[in-house]
Amino acid sequence: MNPFRPPSPSLRFIPVWRRNFLVWRKLAVPSLLGNLADPMIYMLGLGYGLGALLPEVGGVRYIAFLAAGAACFSTLNAATFEALYSAFSRMQVQRSWDAILNTPLSLDDLLLGELVWAASKAALSGAAILAVTAALGLIDSPLALWALPLVFLAGLAFAALGLIVTALAPGYDFFMYYFTLFITPMALISGVFFPVEQLPAALQAVSRVLPLSHAVELVRPLFRGEVPAAAATHVAVLSGYALAAFWLALGLARRRLLK
Amino acid sequence: MEPLSIRGLHKSFGGPAVLAGLTFALRPGECYGLLGPNGAGKTTTLRCALGLTRPDGGEIRLAGLPVPERAREARARVGIVPQMDNLDPDFTVAENLLVYGRYFGLADRAVRARIPQLLDFAGLAGRAEAKISTLSGGMKRRLTLARALVNDPDLLFLDEPTTGLDPQARHLIWERLKQLLAQGKTVLLTTHFMDEAERLCHRLAILDRGRLIAEGSPREVIAAHIEPEVIEVYGEPGEMSAAAWARDEAAQFATRVELAGETAFCYVTESRPLLRHLADRRGLRYLHRPANLEDVFLKLTGRDLRD
């Protein structure tokens, strides 16, 4: 049977999500600190340090500009780490997936559970940045709350891309390629740290097809209290990434695990 | 209804056939053993039976349902103790059972109510809050067995359940399996320990190269495939070579002689002539015993290593 047949998941993905949530709850404090510390250092260090040297960027103070980027970047990082290292541990090292596949769950359910879990964790990271930004007095419109479902959607796209890598990975070392060749370049040209307009035209064209830049295009106006332009397009692109990448990741995982 | 029936199962992974027309069926309430050297197809058979591997041909019914078409529903009625421990290291003993129960769609309350009983059965009473890393190998196996019972299955698959355990731990597992059989559960057991198979299995099958080459009760299999008695003959170093003796003299006393290194295995129906002969021979030691399942296994699958 073709491993790349369409996904047919069911609500049985929920116990997988709950399993991961239970583990997370036990480690919630260090995990939250870890989720927050990294983007915080970027945001406050670059925001205040670099921001002091810069006039306004994109019409706002640099730290306010950076906050929206940092929310998306931390969503990207949280989703990617969960879909790569954590999911790989459960698949290959702890053999938790083997145990789960012996129950009425299918691989489709299992992988969907991992996807939604990674996106949930990612959304939490994004939400934490939103909360800190609000606490710093850099947000003054409730419209910013729309960022929450959108970082969840972005989390789905980033996690699904990560699951493709996990389904292919022979070991943990493999993940370095993904970070060096995809995640870092994407973070640098998607408008997280500076406006995409600063880039040469060719790089701007590349940027336009990357999921992170669509997330940034949605979240940044919302942080400023504005409705994003072409919101439907950005949502459609992120959804498309999430669906296509999940389909591919599932096909690869079926090929790997259901031989 | 047969708990599991497999007919004409074929599977290859590109190379030579791993399963080549395998056929067998379990009867309700029995312990059925699948024996075979490494690579004989035991694990592939189990994976096919659970719908995790799609066979190239053949028919499988698990708990009365066709597999892989309705494997999900069928798996809901089966408990599995895998070869490799895959308990959740992040959870306590009780959480492992609770979380596993959720995969079967069981309510937390229902599982929580069963946990004391399951832990009691596993000899882990009072350990509900223990971390997995603090458990011994035997305790982990017993917890895995308890986990396989969380959905109260009628049929259990046990894939080498006692590999790596000390004798005390093995005996405890055997006792628990007998209890489960006494409750009317059906067990499919794979093992490399012939004494385990002889002790537990009502019937067993020996698999080699994806085919079933012997089937029956342990006694039947022994009676059908091998002479009833074995005399193992060893040479005393520096005095006499068992190999030389086996070559020159053994044939007149034994129906069949197998040489493995410096040991001659003489299979006999009438042992007295050989015993008389050995009593007079200096430089040879021997051990006289009834033939067992291991003799049959080695006869049918050969003494060559299979890795």
Q: A50 lies in a domain?
A: yes
Question: What residue segments make up the domains of chain B, in order of their start?
Answer: 4-222, 227-290
Give the Cβ contact number of residue A253 at 10 Å: 24
pLDDT band at B307 (very low <50, low <70, confident <90, very high): low
Distance CA(A248)–CA(A10), nearest Å, equals 18
Burial B135-171 (b: 16+ CB within 10 A, else e): beebbbbbbbbbbbbbbebbbbbbbbbbbebeeebbe
Number of domains in chain A: 1
User: Quick one: tokens of B79?
Assistant: 């408990």
Distance CA(B172)–CA(B187), nearest Å, equals 16
Q: Which of A151, A129, A139 is nearest to A32 (CA)?
A: A129
Distance CA(B141)–CA(B131), nearest Å, equals 14
Q: Which CATH number fits domain B227-290: 2.40.360, 3.30.70, 2.60.40, 3.40.1620?
A: 3.30.70
In tens, the pLDDT along B54-106 reads 999 999 999 999 999 999 999 999 999 999 889 999 999 999 999 999 999 99
Q: Which of B19, B105, B29 is nearest to B60 (CA)?
A: B19
- E strands of B93-195, at which residues? 155-159, 186-190
In total, chain A counts a number of residues equal to: 259
Q: Give the structural domain span for A230.
A: 11-257
For the domain made up of B4-222, give the CATH fold: Rossmann fold (3.40.50)
Helix A28-40 and helix A62-81: axis angle, to 10°? 140
Residue A39 pLDDT exceeds 80: no
Cis, bond preceding A142 (omega within 30 deg of 0)? no
Of B247 and A202, the one with more pLDDT: A202
In tens, the pLDDT along A193-214 reads 999 999 999 999 999 999 999 9
Instruction: Share the mean pLDDT of chain A.
Output: 94
> What average pLDDT does the segment B176-194 reach?
96
SS (H, E, C) B249-269: CHHHCCCEEEEECCEEEEEEC
Compare CB distances from B89 to A94, A98, A100 and report the shortest one's residue.
A94
Distance CA(A217)–CA(A228), nearest Å, equals 7
Residue contact B86–A259, C-beta within 8 A: no
Q: How far is B81 from chain A (nearest CA, A)?
A: 9
Q: What is the pLDDT, as a whole number, of residue A220?
A: 96
Residue contact B82–A105, C-beta within 8 A: no
Residue contact A103–B86, C-beta within 8 A: no
Distance CA(A35)–CA(A30), nearest Å, equals 9
Residue B30 pLDDT exceeds 70: yes
In the stretch 62-121 of chain B, residues with CB closer than 8 A to chain A read 72-73, 75-76, 80, 82, 84-91, 95, 99-100, 102-105
> What average pLDDT does the segment B145-161 reach?
96
Q: What is the pLDDT, as a whole number, of residue A115?
A: 98
Q: 3-class DSSP state for residue B226?
A: coil
> What is the ipTM, given to two decimal places?
0.92
Q: A6 lies in a domain?
A: no
For an interface test with B, give the residue of A16, A17, A31, A103 to mutate (most B CBs within 10 A): A103
Distance CA(B251)–CA(B274), nearest Å, equals 10
Residue B131 sits at the chain A interface (C-beta within 8 Å): no
Q: A5 lies in a domain?
A: no
